[in-house]
Structure 1
Amino acid sequence: MEGENARDALFHSNGTTALETYSVIFPSALLTFITTTASSFIVISSYAKLFVLDFVFLVIPLILNVTIFANLINEIIFTLICVSICALMIRQDTNEKPAPKQLTTDCTKLNYITNLRSTINIMSVLAILAVDFPVFPRRFTKTETVGYSLMDVGVGLYILSNGIVAPEVHAKTTSLTNIIKSTIPLITLGCARFLLVKELDYYVPVSEYGVHWNFFITLAVTKILCSLILKIISIQYAIIISVCILLVHEVGLQLFLFDFVMTQTERNTFWTANREGIVSIPGYVGLYFISVGIGDILGIRSKYHMKKKFKLGLKLVACSFIFLWATFLLDKNFGVSRRLANSGYCAWVMFIGISMTSFFYLIEQIQVHIYKKSNIEHPIYVPFIFEAINYNGLAYFLLCNVLTGIINIPSDTMTYDTNSSLMIIILYMLINCGIMCVLYYKNIKLKL
């Protein structure tokens, strides 16, 4: 028992501040701007070279930011802002027309949403391996009860990134049969993960989701419940539904569910064994509905995007401030808890997601201006690696889980020194990003 508690301490902490958590995520927007702008002004004739550029100037800095440079994150942000401003000023004065390139980004899509979703994916899979090494700051690990940390926001942001582009947001209807079929892979993955973890005796803290529960089961249950409700109730009421669900959920937590989840109750029934996963479901359902509602309010459709750019930007900024205010108000009264997916946690996740969307949207509009002024024929708004990850999002997350297990099972990663840890993490990211880019290049989409 003492051994398990010691291992739990490695994967759980009291967290860090909200500001530091956000500061670790924010550089991804600046790095995306710098990388895509540079790619657009450099003649790159092969996807292999584009992959190398993206990996060196985007992925590796993200790795360093959550490991050895974590204590210098404010200085890094300042430096990246200065580099971005300099690049902007240089390109503003550039009127020469560069040689045509073969590579480009599909401008018919919402590129800022692609950048958001890929950032969420790449930060999540980076953290799930890095946490197993001593080079990863313990304050970034999942919090034991309440608080802020980098790893806490992963599952919430993943649900947000799916909700904001849900079929209902694009006025698409889904039959009950298709809803069930679409969740079968998630349920299968969830069951397979449980069986493999048990068979291989792979350590997973039960306080994350429970004994049998896991991330894939949470996604599947959330998707089923939300899709069924949206079959009955119009998307126009998504925000109202969300508020009602989160209100009832918070009342239940304050009455008895908080103590039930947080106490050391014996896990001798399915309910008690998986109390974290089960109790958090209403919170994630509420979070999904907020995301769907915001997606509808923002009008995340190509026609809206093209005709009302300024208005969309204002809405994104306004929503960001509303969720920031709600986060600190709810935190003061109820706390922010990933284990419970309470109202404070949902507001915090929404603030991160919508504010980062605002930055990616602003970056794209700035690039549209400088590309047009500089006569760039084939502009790039999305890094090649981000395009590839977004193309096979769930497959990417699954691949990274498998690779994490392959790395962890045969060795005690906590004994590795800094250099060895960084080499393994970089190699892991190189492999998973490389596989996704090959699949994307060959137009292979894995139907998961």
Structure 2
Amino acid sequence: MDTDSRLEREQFVSHLNGTTTIEILSLTSLMPISILFRQCVIALIGIKLNRSNQWSRFTLDVACLCLPFLLSCTIMYDYCYVLFVTMITIIVASILWRYQQPPRHSLSKKKIDFNNLNVSCQLKFISYYRIEVNICTAIAILAVDFKIFPRCLAKAETYGHGLMDIGVGCFVLAAAIVAPEARYSIYRYNKKAQTARGKDNNLHQGNASAPFSSSLVKSLKSIMPLVVIGVGRLIATAGINYQLHVSEYGVHWNFFFTLAAIRLLASLIFIIIPISLSGLIGACIGVFYQVTLTNYNLKDVIISGFDGSGGRNGIIEANREGIFSCIGYLSLYLIGIEIGKQLLKPISSLTRWLKVLVTLIIVDIVLWELTWFNAELFEPVSRRFANFSYVLWMLAFMAFNIFMYLLVELISTYFTMTGNFCEEMPLAGCSVCTPTLELRDTELKMTKQDSSDRNRTCACLYAAIERNQLGYFLLANVMTGSVNLSMNTIRVDNILAAVILVGYIYAVSFIIVVLHVNKVTTKIW
């Protein structure tokens, strides 16, 4: 890439101020709604599509799960609320129409006591959240390079928040809520349950810290791929003179180094401090970092360097944004682990899930109040610093999104149980990748797949991304770079840009589904 083109593109994404939180929440709310929208569309057209042509269903997946968000932040940005209302209308119409039809299965013939109904399956709303983070990121990292993508949605330079400012925070939280430290709560819960039933548990025998006796070695092993990818990206971008927004991470630092650093630091912390204190330690680190930023002029160092001239001399000064922001992201990661410990606890009662739903919205309101208070009293939200206002903002944002995904899944579960949705086409999946629902006495159970299903694969987009989440993200990065190298994206008109973006997300999704159909998993560590 020639220098003039690189400088022009860097300027195109620099010195921006972001948009409002309400707008960001409105745009991202389309993602959980898209999942229910897909199921309602399938309920309207019937289930023949599921049994015959799986590649037609894949195209339907892309249209229902990817295009609404893509359109809302590009050509339909000024009319995103129209898109939102249209999808809700189709969902409501589908439900009302299905109520007029005979039930698809025998579940609805039974008298269901929803107050005492047990859901003996782990809901997948956390998986949906993590997958949608990948899809939104894949769309945004290329769309931002075109004029069709509103500048207010791009990353804010220092203070403020655009749509893309949630990207790294969402990835950190998506990793935290399913981290080994968070999943440890399930192990302890199951161990207590098996002990109460008189069963022996041979896994992780010994004291409570046994699963983490070699945590540092395991952590190093898990972060090595991230380090290798980060180094590879650094070499590749430097070699082709690729565009670089220096004030985002620094000269050499990148997103993969940040993820690797916080995972390593968290493992070191848990060697000394009990996992049960992860949330408290995370909050303390965030507060300490915020005090250092505001009271000890660390923010001036991050903005202008150690000598105040804005120079990039030395490895630390050259990458000061990436290095210092790791402290804020570490705070976010540790608090995210605490949230994961609560969300991953096995819950079998539908009533208890409804209580979780109410708890989430209450916690979310409290977090938004804390975000406003911290931003007014100390410092506005800044992704560049990853300050405590940003940490609280991301936690509030995640709580809202988790609430939305859980709400959508509970709605889907209810209408599947009552026979209005087809149990053979579960939410965001099919009967191959997601076991079907069956009511037995007072329990809602997942029926086991038969031998033919176990030997088959499907072309469901969510199942494919869930198998290869890192692979999907890397593929999107590679294809984004290829598009940028093949054309000057700033000069592309809006219609052509929209066509390119649709073709791009279809191609990325198609490749990842082909890998899934052929049972190829890119995670090799």
**TM-score normalized by structure 2?**
0.80
| Equivalent in 487, 505, 509 of residue 411 of structure 1 | 487
**Alignment map for 1:31-110 (pairs within 5 Å):** 31-39=34-42, 42-43=46-47, 44-45=50-51, 46-97=53-104, 108-110=121-123
Are the counterparts in 1 of residues 40 and 91 from structure 2 also a CA contact under 8 Å?
no
Could you say which residue in structure 2 is the equivalent of 1:445?
A: 521
Could you say which residue in structure 2 is the equivalent of 1:237?
A: 277
**Alignment map for 1:109-258 (pairs within 5 Å):** 109-171=122-184, 173-174=211-212, 175=214, 176-254=216-294, 255-258=296-299
Could you say which residue in structure 1 is the equivalent of 2:504?
A: 428
Question: Is 2:368 aligned against 1:366?
Answer: no
Q: CA deviation at 1:117?
A: 0.8
Q: CA deviation at 1:432?
A: 0.9
* Amino acid in structure 1 at the alignment position of 2:428: V
After superposition, the C-alpha distances for 1:16-46 in whole angstroms (9 at most, x for unaligned) are 1111111111111111111023335621223
Structure 1 Cα separation of the partners of residues 364 and 56 of structure 2: 36
- Stretch moving more, 76-85 or 110-119: 76-85
Q: 1:185 to 1:257 in 2, by over 3 A?
A: same
Q: CA deviation at 1:168?
A: 1.6
Structure 2 Cα separation of the partners of residues 248 and 304 of structure 1: 39
Structure 2 Cα separation of the partners of residues 340 and 90 of structure 1: 50
Q: CA deviation at 1:352?
A: 1.6
| Equivalent in 335, 349, 352 of residue 290 of structure 1 | 335
After superposition, the C-alpha distances for 1:91-121 in whole angstroms (9 at most, x for unaligned) are 344433279xxxxxxx955321111111111
Structure 1 Cα separation of the partners of residues 98 and 368 of structure 2: 34
Q: 1:247 to 1:52 in 2, by over 3 A?
A: same
Structure 2 Cα separation of the partners of residues 431 and 228 of structure 1: 40
Are the counterparts in 1 of residues 103 and 418 from structure 2 also a CA contact under 8 Å?
no
| Equivalent in 346, 370, 374 of residue 326 of structure 1 | 370
Paired residues in the alignment total 440
| Equivalent in 426, 432, 441 of residue 380 of structure 1 | 426
Could you say which residue in structure 1 is the equivalent of 2:435?
A: none
After superposition, the C-alpha distances for 1:69-90 in whole angstroms (9 at most, x for unaligned) are 1112223223323332222333
- Stretch moving more, 217-226 or 6-15: 6-15
Could you say which residue in structure 2 is the equivalent of 1:338?
A: 383
Are the counterparts in 2 of residues 32 and 58 from structure 1 also a CA contact under 8 Å?
yes
Q: CA deviation at 1:387?
A: 2.3
Could you say which residue in structure 2 is the equivalent of 1:103?
A: none
Rg larger for = 2
Q: CA deviation at 1:307?
A: 7.5
Structure 1 Cα separation of the partners of residues 423 and 499 of structure 2: 38
Structure 2 Cα separation of the partners of residues 86 and 294 of structure 1: 36
Could you say which residue in structure 1 is the equivalent of 2:457?
A: none
Structure 2 Cα separation of the partners of residues 150 and 312 of structure 1: 27
Are the counterparts in 1 of residues 131 and 466 from structure 2 also a CA contact under 8 Å?
yes
Could you say which residue in structure 2 is the equivalent of 1:310?
A: 354
Structure 2 Cα separation of the partners of residues 94 and 39 of structure 1: 15
Q: CA deviation at 1:180?
A: 0.6
Q: CA deviation at 1:227?
A: 2.2
Are the counterparts in 2 of residues 94 and 374 from structure 1 also a CA contact under 8 Å?
no
Are the counterparts in 2 of residues 37 and 367 from structure 1 also a CA contact under 8 Å?
no
**TM-score normalized by structure 1?**
0.93
- Stretch moving more, 359-368 or 222-231: 222-231
Q: CA deviation at 1:2?
A: 9.8
- Secondary structure of the residue aligned to 1:151 is helix
Q: 1:113 to 1:92 in 2, by over 3 A?
A: farther
Query: Unaligned regions of 5+ residues in structure 1, if any?
Result: 100-106
Query: Unaligned regions of 5+ residues in structure 2, if any?
Result: 107-119, 188-210, 430-459
Q: 1:49 to 1:208 in 2, by over 3 A?
A: same
Structure 2 Cα separation of the partners of residues 304 and 189 of structure 1: 40
